[in-house]
Amino acid sequence: MKAIEDLAGKGYTVLLEVFSIEAVQQMVDIIRLANRQGAAFRQTADLFAIRRVMAEIPALQQLVLTPALLDWVKTLGGKEHFLVKSIYFDKPGASNWFVAWHQDLTISVDRKHAVPHFGPWTVKQEQFAVQPPVEILENMITFRIHLDDTDENNGALKVIPGSHLKQVHRADTINRDEETICAVPAGSIMVMKPLLMHASGRTTNHRNRRVLHLEFSSMALPEPLQWAEYLPLNN
């Protein structure tokens, strides 16, 4: 299957039209009507984000974790995968927000505790994040559900295909000639490996870029660490 080959070789693939436009609008409406108070919500002129969005807005679970999406998680990740992180991002049309080249090197856990090969740590607003051993990152898979048509003009991800195969490495070692822009239509999903080198630019066409970012793993963490967010998948 091409999606499996692309994810393994390039570090990403795009799954087209997993959700209907009607389903996308339902997601947008539920998020818009949610109470935006609390530590999980972050709002600035350039970005609105909700951490642990599946827990903060439980009504999203039925709309997002559909049989079609869960089939793709099992196909591309594995039958034992479960949800370990969910974030909603909204980069407004007038936003100057951009993200420099990086890999996703940290996971969210429930506490800070000295565990061999875990570190460095960051703690923000009672959220604990740590860089785990590379085998945990290699096991993970990220689904980015796009709620808007996204291209190079409104912050679509730029990636270096195959960079996930180099494990952890510095952004200044990448070959920018290999840069690829991942345009994704609304209702479609960009699936990627956390070690894929990626970045995003500023919005230039005054259109939003709204994304539901879901991370899945099948690995338990060494005690006493636990995933900060855990949701088993039933299908």
Number of domains comprising the chain: 1
User: What letter represents residue 117's amino acid?
Assistant: H
Alpha-helical segments (H) within 123-173 = 134-139
List, as one string, the DSSP characters of 79-111: TT-EEEEEEEEEE-TT----EEEE----EEESS
This prediction's pTM: 0.94
**Residue ranges making up the domain that contains 113:** 1-95+104-232
CB atoms within 10 A of CB 116: 7
Q: What is the CATH number of the domain that holds 59?
A: 2.60.120.620
pLDDT tens over the chain, length 235 residues: 999 999 999 999 999 999 999 999 999 999 988 866 666 667 665 568 889 999 999 999 999 999 999 999 999 999 999 999 999 988 876 666 788 999 999 999 999 999 999 999 998 767 899 999 999 999 999 999 999 999 988 889 999 999 999 999 999 998 889 999 999 999 999 999 999 999 998 888 888 899 999 999 999 999 999 999 999 997 5
